[in-house]
Amino acid sequence: MKKFYFALDTVLSYKEQVLENLQNEHARIMAEIVQCEKGIERLEGEQRECMDSFEEKKLQGIGINEMQVFDRFLISLRKKIQRERERLAEIRIREEKKREEVIEARKETASITKLKEKKLDQYNKEVQKEEEHFIDEFVSNKRAVERARNTA
């Protein structure tokens, strides 16, 4: 019997490569999300420290110029935090789309893999039938030879 051949092996291989690439892209986006979240946390920490420092300075007595510097810096930090949150929201949208692409690619790969498994199972059953048929013929031929010897 000839070796098992699955006609869609090249398609399956291609789909697996596409899936792997999509998973890598998704992982990069997830790393970008983590990095952005850490950046926001860092900025928020800086903002808290600045506000604490500002409150402390106010209690000690602070000049108007220094108050304006603190105020501008805090406004600047709030804007940076807002931009980073907007960027995070955009990255999360990209992540959602990429995750959907990964899910779709997994479905396609899985369906072709299941088809391959069915074809392989079918092939194995045919091989088994041929082997059984060969054994039956061998046994029948051997019995026929033995009968011919016994009658001769």
**Of 55, 35, 47, 42, nearest in space to 76 by CA:** 47
Sign of CA dihedral 85, 90, 93, 94: negative
Distances (CA, A) of 15 to 10, 106, 114, 115, 121: 9, 9, 13, 14, 22
Residue 41 included in any domain: yes
pLDDT value of position 79: 98
Q: What span, in angstroms and rounded, lies between the C-alpha atoms of 96 and 33?
A: 12
In three-state form (DSSP H/G/I as H, E/B as E, the rest C), the secondary structure along 37-103 is HHHHHHHHHHHHHHHHHHHHHHHHCCCHHHHHHHHHHHHHHHHHHHHHHHHHHHHHHHHHHHHHHHH
The one-character DSSP state at 5 is -
Q: What mean pLDDT, rounded, does the chain reach?
A: 93
SS3 at position 3: coil
Residue 91 included in any domain: yes
More confident residue, 131 or 152: 131
More confident residue, 150 or 132: 132
Average pLDDT over residues 132-151: 84
pLDDT value of position 139: 85
The total domain count for the chain is: 1
pLDDT digits (tens, 9 = 90+) for 18-54: 999 999 999 999 999 999 999 999 999 999 999 999 9
Q: What span, in angstroms and rounded, lies between the C-alpha atoms of 148 and 136?
A: 18
17: CATH: 1.10.287.1700
pLDDT value of position 1: 64
Residue 64 included in any domain: yes
Residue 77 included in any domain: yes
Residue 128 included in any domain: no
pTM of the model: 0.75
pLDDT value of position 4: 87
Residue identified by tokens 């088809």 is 115
Look up the domain containing 91 and give its range: 9-112
Residue 57 included in any domain: yes
pLDDT value of position 152: 64
CB contact at 8 A, 12 and 112: yes
SS3 at position 6: coil
Average pLDDT over residues 91-110: 97
Residue 30 included in any domain: yes
Tokens of 28: 């990069």
Residue 98 included in any domain: yes
